[in-house]
Amino acid sequence: MVALRKVIFVVIAGVFGSRMGPDLQCFVALFVLFWFFNFHLSAHPFDEITSRHRVLHHLETWAIICGWCTMWMGLIFYLGNEFGRIDR
């Protein structure tokens, strides 16, 4: 699932990047991250044999959250700069 998510991001940025603007790319990436986060929380893809195995689940959860925050903040800065809301 992690590899699939990375391939989807490469397709969004590389293949459709020239056709979509940066703001639409970010919206699509946020949408993809939202669905992968929901899938991760509902499917529990990592086996939890012992309590130490929960680390993989938590790391993947926080990786998706960090990706979401990065995309969201990038979108805020891009749109703020585009519409003149952020002074340089």
Which tens digits make up the pLDDT trace of 11-35? 988 888 778 888 888 899 999 999 9
Angstrom distances, CA of residue 68 to CA of 2, 27, 33, 49, 61: 15, 10, 6, 29, 11
Instruction: Return d(Cα 23, Cα 10) in angstroms, integer.
Output: 16
31-83 pLDDT tens trace: 999 999 999 999 988 888 888 888 989 999 999 999 999 999 988 888 877 66
pLDDT of residue 46: 84
pLDDT for position 44: 86
Do residues 26 and 73 make contact, with C-beta atoms less than 8 angstroms apart? Answer: no
Taking the model in full, what pTM does it have?
Answer: 0.79
So where are the chain's domains? 2-82
